[in-house]
Structure 1
Amino acid sequence: MADFKGYLIKLNDVEFPPEYIALESYKSTDNQRTELKAYRNSNNYLIRQTSPNFKTKVEFTTIDGLHLKDLRKIKQIIDKALINNAERKVSVEYWNNEELKYQKMKAYIPDIDYEIKKIVKGSKPDIEYKSIRYAFIEY
């Protein structure tokens, strides 16, 4: 029986705010096999040698229309989870759909593109953002 606790991803034991995740965009590529060597033998059979260390990638986009306060909250969670700032290396716990259990990994966050939807002027200036893609790729 699956031991799902109601969250998809945590960074350093802090849940990524689920209300910010566009759930239809969430995907995980669990337990990716890394091919070390592959060749065909004299009978033309494929011979593959794969690493016993599987790697996972989790990615999603945020909902459209996040504001500066929302982005600050996300940034605080990521900043607290950073193990290495230069590499954007973080500690992640995620729901592994292949194993049907939570697993932990050390991952890096690739560069993030921020697209502005609109600038709000007036007494409280603000920025409204288009969806933002986050990815966590296991070391």
Structure 2
Amino acid sequence: MKESASLHLKVQELCDCYAETDPLKEMSAIIREPATEETALKWLALAVLHGVNSNAEKINLVKTESGKVGITATYRTTELPSPGEETGARILDIARAITHIETDKGKTDLALGFRGNSMELKIKIKKEKDRERITLHFPGEG
């Protein structure tokens, strides 16, 4: 795993790169891509863009003990396309590396800047007996 600062920078660069795409459409295609660090970083960037564009309150990624990964967004409870089991696991690893949350439960702020804008996400990670969850809380009402 790369240094967390470079992972953070890569997420910002990918946000900038994909800023003018349809993040939901791009997220739907992730499951067909190889489960690499780059794919996981791309999914995180697309989730941020989708959250911002759709005025989301939060996006959850949950990985169960069996490895199944599910995604939900709160703005109207809608299930988002899953990145697949392997990429989902990599997303959790990258989120932990970027945020330095090494315990079963933690939260922190994450500053992101792209396209001349900046924002601060609140990131929560929680690991329980049979599942692990990362929640991206977007700024604003809600």
Shorter-chain TM-score range: 0.3 to 0.5
Q: Which one has the bigger strand percentage? A: 1
Q: Could you say which structure has the larger radius of gyration?
A: 1
Q: TM-score if structure 2 supplies the norm length?
A: 0.34
Q: TM-score if structure 1 supplies the norm length?
A: 0.35
Q: Which one has the bigger helix percentage? A: 2
